[in-house]
């Protein structure tokens, strides 16, 4: 009986450790293991990392450009940016639709997000110092 309790306790502890480790990896803010020439998960992690870098760059550029604008032009850029943001993710979901349910879907989706975000970052330069 005592050995049965030990086995049950060990099994419960092992199950909790596995669940906690999986939750930590799934909820992590950083890609777990980026390797562009690795397995699919590693390539997916790289695509996520690259999108996050592009998104950070976009946010910096947006702030820089906003500082160069008149209040009226800031409103115009803010409106345009919000419209762009509302369309970016759905557009990339459509672009990755053929891969839905597959292990490559995160790579295709995040690569699309990165490309779209980098394009938008370049477009923001056209706003610098713009007058009404």
Question: Per-residue pLDDT tens for 33-89?
Answer: 899 999 999 999 999 999 999 999 999 999 999 999 999 999 999 999 999 999 999
Residue 129 has what pLDDT? 79
Radius of gyration from C-alpha coordinates of the chain: 22
Q: In terms of Cα–Cα distance, which of 63, 95, 97, 56 is closest to 78?
A: 63
Measured at the alpha carbon of residue 114, what is the angle toward residues 110 and 117, in degrees to the nearest 5? 135
* Residue 21 CB neighbour total at 10 angstroms: 10
- Return d(Cα 72, Cα 50) in angstroms, integer: 33
Q: Residue 18: its pLDDT value, please?
A: 39
Q: Using alpha carbons, select from 90, 95, 88, 74 the residue that is nearest to residue 119.
A: 88
Can you give the pLDDT at residue 22?
Answer: 39
Hey, what are 42's tokens?
A: 């590693």
pTM of the predicted model as reported, rounded to 2 decimal places: 0.75
> Cα angle vertex 125, ends 45, 110, to 5°?
15
Q: What is the mean pLDDT of residues 99-127?
A: 97
Banded model confidence at residue 16, pLDDT cuts 50, 70, 90: very low
Other Cβ atoms closer than 10 A to 106: 19
């Amino acid at each position: 009986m005592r050995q049965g309790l030990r086995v049950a306790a060990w099994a419960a502890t092992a199950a909790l450790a596995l669940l906690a480790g999986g939750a930590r990896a799934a909820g992590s803010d950083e890609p777990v293991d980026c390797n562009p020439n690795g397995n699919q998960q590693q390539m997916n992690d790289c695509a996520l990392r690259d999108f996050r870098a592009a998104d950070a760059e976009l946010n910096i550029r947006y702030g820089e450009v906003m500082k160069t604008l008149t209040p009226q032009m800031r409103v115009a850029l803010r409106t345009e940016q919000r419209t762009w943001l509302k369309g970016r993710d759905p557009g990339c979901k459509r672009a990755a639709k053929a891969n839905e349910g597959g292990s490559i879907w995160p790579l295709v989706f995040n690569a699309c997000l990165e490309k779209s975000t980098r394009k938008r970052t370049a477009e923001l330069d056209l706003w610098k110092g713009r007058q009404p």
